[in-house]
Chain A
Amino acid sequence: MEMNKDLVAASTTPLVLAILAERDSYGYAIIKRVTELSRGHLQWTDGMLYPVLHRLERQGYVAAKWSASENGRRRKYYRITKEGRAQLAAHRQQWQVVNGTLRGIWMKACTA
């Protein structure tokens, strides 16, 4: 299934925040988790995640820290902040509105 580009872009921020709300993570693992959760339907261009993460970091929704990884190289780990959680909640409400609206129409279409 080919996903609409704008839809993918719009879902990036809530997805990243939601994944970080599960546990602290780093770029590569976040992308793996997205693929896993969407069963491969959401394909990001890997590099593009990093500017997004940096922007979130600047906005204060996530915090970043360099620490050692299991392979001995340094890795930049991201963690969601309190503001980030608030932002995530706001996103969630908005998506629920969209989701609920569409669901309502489609349910009617099914039953009619």
Chain B
Amino acid sequence: MAGRERYPARYLDEGVHGMTTFADRPLEEQIAHWRAYLSQRQALHGPDLEELEGHLRDQLLALTEAGLAGDEAFLVAVKRMGSLDTLSGEFARAHSERLWKQLVLGAESGDDSVTSKTRHTETWVVLSLAVSAALAIKAPALFGIQFGGDQPFYARNASLFVFPLLSVYFVWKRGSDVVSRLGLALAFAVGALFANVFPFRPGSDTEVLTALHLPIALWLAVGFAYVRSRWFADDGRRMNFVRFSGELAIYYVLIALGGGVLTAFTLMMFHSIGLNAKWLVQGWLIPCGAMGAVIIGSWLVEAKQSVIENMAPVLTRLFTPLFTILLLVFLGTMAWTGSPINVERELLIGFDLLLVLVVGLVLYAVSARDPQAPPDFFDGLQLLLVVSALAVDGAALGAIATRISEFGFSPNRVAALGENLILLVNLGWSAWLYARFLRRQGSFAILERWQVAYLPVYSAWAALVVVLFPPVFSYR
């Protein structure tokens, strides 16, 4: 049914040609097609479609009464309706806010009382969850654990204040059975347990590792709630979770920027009347805002899904060429000058982040690509990016291996090395699949499936770091 989109456009824009295809189909079916095609336009809402369809039907009735056959009448009526592009352009001009407003307010056009009611409920659910998250981070203060200062409790538990509530939102929105709800609760309980039972030494590395890795491990639980507790059932939904994560990250950064402005003004204004608002900002505004923003950001991503182009793939398109150039120039310079990578303490982490970035670029390029499309220039660029990242990382790993053999293992080094290997495996295999795809020996869908299937590995490793590293390295 590849022509589904093209047929109506052809009647409308080019007139009568190519119509014979529909000539012997029943009128109702043609109307349904026309309506379905129309409904893809963002500027047109449900009631507008109904209004236009009513017009079409009135016109059809008049024309058939005048003696035209059904299909002839349909042709004339659709032609009189005018070109669809111009029409939706006019609607967009008459309702320019439609392309944006859904972002916050939901379906204002809600003649459909059911959807508008659930939208309304959703707003309340989201707001109360956001407030709960904001209160949750203040709750430990009641038991004497003050926020701020040197209090690693909050760093270790940060994700536990908000991820369970985010999961509640998805469970509420998408539904799930009792077993998976218990599973989710168990996952978060285990996370809370391992975040708090270990007797970390003050300022220990393993404690920092726990704070960094617990969110990665628990994000999988959130994903589990997102995909309606059927992780293995459906690749598409897991890919949606990947898209969701990327969009949420972008929204979170945007909200944080706004929060920064709010904070600055709060301090400035109270300072001007001789009051110090630091306690308010540090004790309430920042922690509560940081928690609530996760829920609000998620809601916004959910609400706007279909409204505007997703940002993560756009950024990917923008930065893939730039990072490819950076890596190639770096490799070239290294080969030219012959200077080896200078092993410093933070280097391993730095190259981990580079690989994370490249995996992210690949992942979001994959998420936005039509798997059916043939290979194009951008796919070649992706392969180049992955291969050059592998080469750079190979050089760095060589340098690091010598350092580890000299100075032995530390929790940071082992964690970073493990992550490096996990990312390396992903990128190595992705490069292979990309190469096969470019030579047209494999389909793009295989690459997509590989990326999606690999997701739990990151969380599994993170969970391992949280659970095993502190005792193994005796809490140092």
State in angstroms the CA–CA spacing of A69 and B51 once bound together.
12
Q: Are A76 and B91 CB-contacts (below 8 A) given A46-B82, A47-B52?
A: no
Tell which of A27, A28, A74, A76 has the most Cβ of chain B within 10 Å: A28
Choice from A26, A50, A52 contacting B48 with Cβ under 8 Å: A50
Query: Beta-carbon contacts of A44-58 to B below 8 Å, as 1s and 0s?
Result: 011110111011001
User: Are B54 and A51 neighbours in the complex by a CB distance under 8 Å?
Assistant: no
Tell me whether A73 and B48 are in contact (CB under 8 A): no
Contact A28 B82 (CB under 8 A): no
Q: Which residues of B contact A85 (CB under 8 A)?
A: none
Binds A, one of B1-9, B55-63, B283-291, B332-340: B55-63
Scan residues 24-47 of chain A and give those whose CB is less than 8 A from a CB of chain B. Answer: 26-28, 45-47
A91 lies within 8 A of chain B by Cβ: no
Task: Tell me, in angstroms, the Cα distance from A73 to B55 when the chains sit together.
Answer: 11
Q: Are B94 and A58 in contact (CB under 8 A)?
A: yes
In the complex, how many angstroms separate the beta carbon of B26 from the nearest chain A beta carbon? 18
Q: Are B95 and A54 in contact (CB under 8 A)?
A: yes
B28-49 CB mask vs A (1 if < 8 Å, else 0) is 0000000000000000000110
- Known interface pairs A27-B51, A45-B80, A74-B50; A50-B59 also in contact (CB < 8 Å): no
Contact flags B290-302 to A (C-beta < 8 A → 1, else 0) = 0000000000000
Interface check B87, CB cutoff 8 A: yes
Q: Main secondary structure on chain B at its contact with chain A?
A: helix
Q: How many of A's residues come within 8 Å of B, CB to CB?
A: 20
CA distance A8 to B178 in the complex (A): 64
Nearest A residue to B58 via CB reads A28
Does B81 have its Cβ within 8 Å of any Cβ on chain A? yes
Q: Would you give the shortest CB distance from A111 to chain B, in whole angstroms?
A: 43
Residues of B close to A74: CB separation below 8 A = 50, 54
Number of CB contacts from chain A to chain B under 8 A: 60
- A46 in contact with B55 (CB, 8 Å): yes
Interface check B90, CB cutoff 8 A: yes
| Total count of chain B residues near the partner, CB < 8 A | 23
- Evaluate contact between B47 and A51: CB separation under 8 angstroms: no
Given A28-B55, A28-B58, A46-B55, decide whether A51 and B93 contact each other with a Cβ distance below 8 A: yes
> Given A28-B58, A51-B94, are A46 and B51 neighbors across the interface (CB < 8 Å)?
no
Contact partner, A48, options B47, B51, B54, B82, Cβ 8 Å:
B82
Cα A83 to Cα B81 in complex, Å, equals: 29
Whether A76 lies near B47 (C-beta < 8 A) is: yes
Asked if residues A47 and B58 are in contact (CB atoms below 8 Å), the reply is no
Q: B57, A47: Cβ atoms under 8 Å?
A: no
**Given A46-B80, A47-B81: A75 and B90 interface contact (C-beta under 8 Å):** no
Give every chain A residue within 8 A of B47 (Cβ-Cβ). Answer: 66, 76
What separation, in Å, do the CA atoms of A8 and B80 have in the docked complex? 16
- Shortest CB distance A81–B (Å): 18
Asked if B111 lies at the interface with its beta carbon under 8 angstroms from chain A, I say yes
For residue B9, give the distance in angstroms from its CB to the closest CB of chain A: 14
Known: A51-B93, A54-B94. A45 touches B55 (CB 8 A): no
In chain A, what residue has the closest Cβ to B82?
A45
Distance in angstroms between the alpha carbons of A46 and B82 in the assembled complex: 7
Inter-chain CA distance A48–B89, complex, in Å, is 10
Q: State whether A50 and B82 are in contact (beta carbons under 8 Å apart), knowing that A28-B58, A58-B94 are contacts in the complex.
A: no
Report A-chain residues with C-beta under 8 Å of the C-beta of B81.
45-47
Q: A27-B51, A76-B47 are in contact. Are A48 and B90 (CB under 8 A)?
A: yes
Q: Which residue on A lies nearest to B89, using beta carbons? A: A51
**Does the CB pair A73–B51 fall under 8 Å?**
no
Q: Is the CB of A50 within 8 A of B111?
A: no
Min CB distance A47 to B, Å, is 4
Q: For window 291-337 of chain B, which residues contact chain A by CB distance below 8 Å? A: none
Cα distance A31–B94 in the bound complex, in angstroms: 19
Q: Which residues of B contact A (CB under 8 A)?
A: 47-48, 50-52, 54-55, 57-59, 61, 80-83, 86-87, 90-91, 93-95, 111
22 contacts between A and B (CB under 8 A): A28-B54, A28-B55, A28-B58, A45-B86, A46-B55, A46-B80, A46-B82, A47-B81, A47-B82, A47-B90, A48-B90, A50-B48, A51-B87, A51-B91, A51-B93, A54-B48, A55-B94, A69-B54, A71-B61, A74-B54, A75-B54, A76-B47
